[in-house]
Structure 1
C-alpha cells in the first residue's frame, strides 16, 4: 500500500511538471511572437527608398535590439518637400515595445504631413510637438529634423532633445554639430526649436544617428560620438560613399554593445570623381 501511494505522488509530480513546461513554452512562444510583431511593425513604417538629388547621396542603416521587447522606438526618414528641398529626420520614441513602434509611426507621419504646411525645421518641430500633445499619450520622442537644399548644399537643422549629428569634410576636418536644440517632442506646450545652418561642402558628410549607435555598456555617449567622428573623418578624406560610411557606423554600434535600437542616416556630397 505505501508503494502505491509513492507511485501516485510521482505521477502527480510528473503531471504538474508537464503542465508547467507547457505553460513556459506558451509564454516563450507569445514573447517571440510579440518581438516579431514589434520588429515587423517598425520595419513596415520605415521608408524603403531614399530621395535622390544630383551630387548628393543618402544612405541608411538600422539594427534592432532583441532584449525582450526592447525594440520599436527608433526611426529615420527622408522625403522630398514641396519647396524642392529634402527633409531628413531621425529620432527615438520613449519605450521599446509595440506601443512605442506605433507612436513612432505617428511621429514620422506627423512630420511628413506638417512639412506640407511649413518646411522651416524649427517651426516644423514646434507644430509636431503640439500635435503629439493633442494625442493625449504619455509617450514622447527625441528628434532631429534637417532641410537640405540640393541647389546650395545648405543644411538647416533643428533638434528636439536628440543627440547631436556628426560632420566631416574632405580636407580632414570633423566634429560634432553644435546646434542649440530644444526639449523632446510631446513633453510641454509652446516650445520653440532654434535652427542652425550648415553647408555641406563637396566630399563632405553629415551623420544623423540615434543613441543606440553610440551608447552602451562599454562606451559612454561622448566616447561613442567620438568614434563616429573618427569614422566620418576617415571616410570623407578617403572619398568613401555614404553607404560605406553608414555600414561602418552601424558596425561600430555592435562594439558599443548596444541594448537599444540603432539607426543611422548619412548625407554625403559626392566629390566630382565619385563613380556610381
Structure 2
C-alpha cells in the first residue's frame, strides 16, 4: 500500500533547496570578489611606465590567470637605480591565490628598496632572499634580475630558480641565455647567486619571461622557449620594435594552453654600438 508524503515535507524540501542555493550563490560571490581583489592587487603593484635611456627601449605584456580561482603572482619591473643604471626584474611566486599576489608585491618592493643599497644583481638577490625569509612566509618565488648600463649596453644577470631569458642579434643569431641559476628566493638563507654578463648590440633584444608564456598542457618548456627564440630572431632581423615583439610573444603563449599568469619584458637597442 502506497503512502502519501505530507505536503509540508515538500515545502521543507523546497526551503532547504532554496537555502542551499542561496549559500552557493554567496560562496560564488565571495570567491569572485576574492579573484577581483587579487587581480586589482596585481595590477596596482605592476608598473605602468618603463624607464627611458637614449637608444634603449623597454616593452612589456602581461596576461593574468583568470581561470576559476587561479590568480597567480607573476610580475615584471623596470626602474632607474641610484647609480644611473636600469634594474630589470621578472618573476613568479608559488601559488595561485590572493596570498601569492600579495607576496609578489613584497618581492618586487623588496628588490626596489634593496637596490638603493646594492645594485649588483647577485648580491641584490641574496639580500632579497634573506629579507623574504625574515618575513616568515611559506611562499617562495623565482626571479631574474638584470642590471643594464645604458652607457655601454652591458647587461648583468642573476637568476633565482627562474627560467632563462632569450636573446637575438640583428645579424640573425638567437638563442637561450646559458647563465648559471641559483635557488628560488625564500627557501634557504645565506645563498649566493652567480652573475653573467651580456652586451646588447645595435638591433639586439633580450626577452625576459615567466613560465606561463612557454610551458603548459599543450607545450613543454623546451618547445616554448624555442618558439620565443624564433620570434626574437625574426624580430631582430626585421628591426621589429620591442613593443611588437612583446605582443607577439604573449600572443604565442596562447599555444601552450596555460592556466597561469604570463609576463614578458623586452629590452632592445637601436643606436650605433657604444664602446665600453
Q: Bin the TM-score by the shorter chain.
A: over 0.9
Identify unmatched segments of 5+ residues in structure 1. none
CA distance in structure 2 between the partners assigned to 1:78 and 1:69 by the alignment:
28
TM-score by length of 2: 0.95
Shift of 1:112: 0.5
CA distance in structure 1 between the partners assigned to 2:184 and 2:64 by the alignment:
22
Deviations 1:115-162 (A, max 9, x none): 011111011111111111111111111000000001101100000000
TM-score by length of 1: 0.95
Shift of 1:3: 9.3
CA distance in structure 2 between the partners assigned to 1:188 and 1:12 by the alignment:
57
Contact 1:155-1:197 within 8 A present in 2 as well: yes
1:141 aligned residue:
141
1:58 aligned residue:
58
CA distance in structure 1 between the partners assigned to 2:257 and 2:271 by the alignment:
34
1:7 aligned residue:
7
CA distance in structure 1 between the partners assigned to 2:166 and 2:121 by the alignment:
18
Shift of 1:271: 5.1
Query: SS where residue 182 of structure 2 aligns?
Result: coil
Contact 1:207-1:267 within 8 A present in 2 as well: yes
Identify unmatched segments of 5+ residues in structure 2. none
Deviations 1:64-109 (A, max 9, x none): 1112331131000000001100000000111111111111111111
Contact 2:62-2:262 within 8 A present in 1 as well: yes
Query: SS where residue 175 of structure 1 aligns?
Result: strand
Contact 1:239-1:271 within 8 A present in 2 as well: no
2:260 aligned residue:
260
Q: CA RMSD in A?
A: 1.3
Contact 1:147-1:155 within 8 A present in 2 as well: yes
2:78 aligned residue:
78
